[in-house]
């Protein structure tokens, strides 16, 4: 496994939205904190016409716009810009790659390539890189999703990449895995003796994962309408969260052990049969309504045409193995919902016998809430007695034991996910990247759901913007006696 830092970084799509909002600010932050190899150069490439100075001016503008005020430091920005170079390239034709190679120069110290381009460009890009000698043993490539629309197209893309880059030099990004709280799942589960004994079907009643957004299409209309909520969120981020919550303890914290355990979970997901798709899944599409006090339009108006794309999906899933037999995993994600939130809620089984019932005390089962955004915290909801003399009965109340990462680590600089992932790519650590067998197991499960929707001709149910989605999503959990955590 070649785990040493590379000397060169090549960014495809270097003038795009992702580069401006995430990649350049992340690379600058790593530079400002002295974490990049001192001689690392960063070459950007895209169709836009720039020379080195033009691109440095472009990057300076992006940093000015997207860096938080407390991170801006003129001398650090100036020294960072000196690392940047640029080569104009039409990635779709083989011409131009030789010039790109010349621009990058000597790659004997290793090269990392970050590919954030349209998927149809992957083929020509890989061929171009190969033709110019930019795909050798000391080159690793990082792929930004979407990697396909289904299992077949995902395999096709992975095959194209694999012709030039073997699995150990291919780094597939799921930016959720770079989030601090997501890695805290591993620390919580495997760093504390408290949880592991009850982290199974004997101790846990249900698991809920919610990734809700308040935004609508926001400039991604064409991409989103072709994709929909199931492919956009469930196939990658949410299934990765399921894998981290449900995996067995890995032997060690390295790329092979962690990903071996994750793929076992993804392969254990019970396929949703065609006949069960209407009962185990709910799809919706946002209508008009109000979000944060602002009147918003429905999806069809936002898009400019009628469409059957789902902007909301809720699923009742099961992991068929010893640890999780019979425990439902409820997943839901959607746009234009009541609030922006990513969280995991683990509901534990109730106590076997309540001694408080005849004194009027009502018990709630314990729950563990792991909030990923907008705030980052972990809460354990436990029962406590309300103070008082209890003449009217025994009053119990659910109270949170709180670990707020924002408060607890207030002095520590919070990193955005891409900082960690770019540094891991530069240094060659694959642990937080997604392996091919994981991607394919995810797609297999997702494709079965889509087949069920098609066979049953399921159309998305309308829901009011600013709500929590179609009422059927509430019924999905309520019939099992479970409430969504709101």
φ and ψ at residue 365, rounded to 5 degrees: -65, 150
479 annotated as ligand-binding: no
Cα-Cα-Cα-Cα dihedral sign, residues 164, 168, 174, 179: negative
In whole angstroms, give the CA distance from residue 234 to residue 216: 17
Of the candidates 486, 458, 236, the residue with the CA atom closest to the CA atom of residue 341: 486
Residue 144 neighbours by CB distance under 10 Å:
22
In whole angstroms, give the CA distance from residue 316 to residue 272: 9
213 annotated as ligand-binding: yes
179 annotated as ligand-binding: yes
145 annotated as ligand-binding: yes
In whole angstroms, give the CA distance from residue 114 to residue 142: 5
In whole angstroms, give the CA distance from residue 264 to residue 237: 17
In whole angstroms, give the CA distance from residue 449 to residue 273: 8
Active-site pick, 50, 237, 318, 485: 237
Residue 4 neighbours by CB distance under 10 Å:
13
In whole angstroms, give the CA distance from residue 324 to residue 330: 13
237 noted as active-site residue: yes
φ and ψ at residue 476, rounded to 5 degrees: -55, -40
Token code pair at residue 424: 């891991």
232 annotated as ligand-binding: yes
Contacts of 423 (CB under 8 A, 6+ apart): 30, 35, 36
391 annotated as ligand-binding: no
DSSP per residue, 58-101: HHHHHHHHHS-GGG--HHHHHHHHTTEEEEE--TTSSTTHHHHH
Torsion of CA 421, 423, 429, 431, to 10 degrees: -20
Of the candidates 343, 337, 409, 331, the residue with the CA atom closest to the CA atom of residue 374: 343
Which residues participate in the annotated binding site for substrate? 175, 179, 213, 232, 335
Which residues participate in the annotated binding site? 47, 145, 175, 179, 213, 232, 335
Active-site residues, by number, are: 237
């Amino acid at each position: 496994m070649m785990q040493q830092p590379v000397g060169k970084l090549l960014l495809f799509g270097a003038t795009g939205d992702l580069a401006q909002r995430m990649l350049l600010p992340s690379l600058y932050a790593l530079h400002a904190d002295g974490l990049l190899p001192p001689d690392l150069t960063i070459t950007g490439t895209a169709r836009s016409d720039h020379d080195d100075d033009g691109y440095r001016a472009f990057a300076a503008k992006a940093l000015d716009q997207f860096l938080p005020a407390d991170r801006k430091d003129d001398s650090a920005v100036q020294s960072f810009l000196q690392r940047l170079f640029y080569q104009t390239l039409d990635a779709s034709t083989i011409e131009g790659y030789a010039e790109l190679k010349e621009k990058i120069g000597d790659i004997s110290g290793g090269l990392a390539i970050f590919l954030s381009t349209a998927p149809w460009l992957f083929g020509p890009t890989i061929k171009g890189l190969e033709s110019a000698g930019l795909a050798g043993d000391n080159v690793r490539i990082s792929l930004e999703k979407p990697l396909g629309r289904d299992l077949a197209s995902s395999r096709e893309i992975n095959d194209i990449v694999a012709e030039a880059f073997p699995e150990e030099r291919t780094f597939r990004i799921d930016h959720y895995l770079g989030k601090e709280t997501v890695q805290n799942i591993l620390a919580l589960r495997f760093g504390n003796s408290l949880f592991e004994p009850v982290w199974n079907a004997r101790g846990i009643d249900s698991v809920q994962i919610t990734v809700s957004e308040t935004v609508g299409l926001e400039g991604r209309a064409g991409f989103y309408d072709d994709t929909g909520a199931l492919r956009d969120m469930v196939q990658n981020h949410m299934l990765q969260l399921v894998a981290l919550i449900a995996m067995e303890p890995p032997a060690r914290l390295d790329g092979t052990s962690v990903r071996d355990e994750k793929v076992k979970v993804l392969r254990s997901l019970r396929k949703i049969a065609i006949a069960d798709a209407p009962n185990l899944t709910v799809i919706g599409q946002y209508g008009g309504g109000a979000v944060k006090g602002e009147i918003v339009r429905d999806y069809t108006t936002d898009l400019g045409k009628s469409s059957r794309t789902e902007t909301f999906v809720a699923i009742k899933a099961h992991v068929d193995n010893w640890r999780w037999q019979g425990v439902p995993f409820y997943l839901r994600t959607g746009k234009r919902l009541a609030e922006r939130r990513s969280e995991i809620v683990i509901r534990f089984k109730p106590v076997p016998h309540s001694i408080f019932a005849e004194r009027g005390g009502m018990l709630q089962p314990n729950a563990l809430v792991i909030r990923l955004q907008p705030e980052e915290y972990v809460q354990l909801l436990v029962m406590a007695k309300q103070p008082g003399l209890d003449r009217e009965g025994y009053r119990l109340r659910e109270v949170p034991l709180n670990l707020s990462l924002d408060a607890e680590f207030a002095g520590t600089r919070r990193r955005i996910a891409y900082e960690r992932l770019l540094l891991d790519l530069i240094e060659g650590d694959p642990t937080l990247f997604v392996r091919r067998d994981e991607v394919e197991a995810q797609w297999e499960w997702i494709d079965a759901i889509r087949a069920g929707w098609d066979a049953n001709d399921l159309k998305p149910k309308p829901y009011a913007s600013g709500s929590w989605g179609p009422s059927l999503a509430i019924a999905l959990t309520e019939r099992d006696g479970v409430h969504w955590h709101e």
